[in-house]
Amino acid sequence: MHRRYVPGPWGQIHLHVVAPAQPPTRRPLLCFHLSPGSGRMYREFLEVMGTDRLAVAVDTPGYGGSDPPPAPTDLKAYASALATVLDSLELDQVDLFGAHTGSRLAVEVAHLCPERVNRLILFGAAVYTAEEREKQKAAFARPKPVHADGSHLASRWTGWAAWRWPGVSDEMIGRYAADSVQDFERHWWAHQAVFEHDMAARLGSLEHEVLVLCTKDDIEGPTRRAASVIRNGRYLERLDWGHWFLEVDPSGAGDMARAFYDR
């Protein structure tokens, strides 16, 4: 794996890149992470997928190593910024993999440049009720207080640790917790955009072939609802997986992805 920066509308966009030793034989793969977070969540998965294709995880602007927008913005603006990566890397057509917020970004990128996107895997594609949306806004789409004793940092650890399952290490939890507090003053910006986004309408109007993956995590229930709005594709439930399955079982994740992307 190596790192790379490419220009974006608000500064530089940071990429995590794995390229095969021999000329690639499959379509390139772009991966979008959950928020707050970074493309580090895809490290092991990129190593598996990058043996026969260019495999890239993109840090969303304002997260990981990517420069932020000047102010909170919407999902379409974030997606437009991510779509510029295709031009920077001179990619004619790609497959997409999204996780939670990244699933919404993948859907929007496919709407923005439909002829350049082939298939999408959406790990967590929450379709919220109006009541759930308001609760999520109140909990996540706003700045949170910073405490002198650092308890706001500890709460991030305990929040992620609640979703530990067999094979998940302290290091994995630590990476997620660290990424979520890297820029504490704007960690909530992407969540604000998420809860103004209509996944049911946007996924339901997408003509691309989609695989929605539901795992045992915090949006399991809302992701189940996505099964009824998929226009072209299918729904897969893997409750033996949860957060960090891309690190705990990268080979299994790779087998699933290849079976879908490479048919």
Over range 193-197, report the average pLDDT.
95
CA 59 to the chain's CA centroid? 9
Q: Is the pLDDT of residue 182 over 90?
A: no
Query: Looking at residue 67, what DSSP letter applies?
Result: P
Percent of the chain with pLDDT over 70: 100
Q: What is the pLDDT of residues 27-59, one digit of tens each?
A: 999 999 999 999 999 999 999 999 999 999 999
| Mean of pLDDT over the chain | 96
Over range 12-21, report the average pLDDT.
97
Q: So what's the pLDDT on residue 96?
A: 98
All domains of the chain in start order, with CATH: 2-261 (3.40.50.1820)
Which residues sit opposite 14 in a β-bridge? Answer: 5
Q: What is the pLDDT of residues 240-263, one digit of tens each?
A: 999 999 999 999 999 999 999 999
Percent of the chain with pLDDT over 90: 94
How much is the pTM? 0.97
Q: Is the pLDDT of residue 157 over 90?
A: yes
Return the minimum-mean-pLDDT range out of 21-35, 112-126, 172-186.
172-186
The answer to whether 215 and 239 have CB atoms below 8 angstroms apart is yes
Stated as kind and residue range, the H or E segment containing 195 is none
Where residue 144 falls among pLDDT bands split at 50, 70, 90?
confident
Peptide bond into 36 cis (omega under 30): yes
Rounded Cα–Cα distance for residues 47 and 45 (Å): 5
CA 257 to the chain's CA centroid? 15
Rounded Cα–Cα distance for residues 14 and 262 (Å): 27
Query: Torsions phi, psi of 132, nearest 5?
Result: -65, -40
Where residue 183 falls among pLDDT bands split at 50, 70, 90?
confident
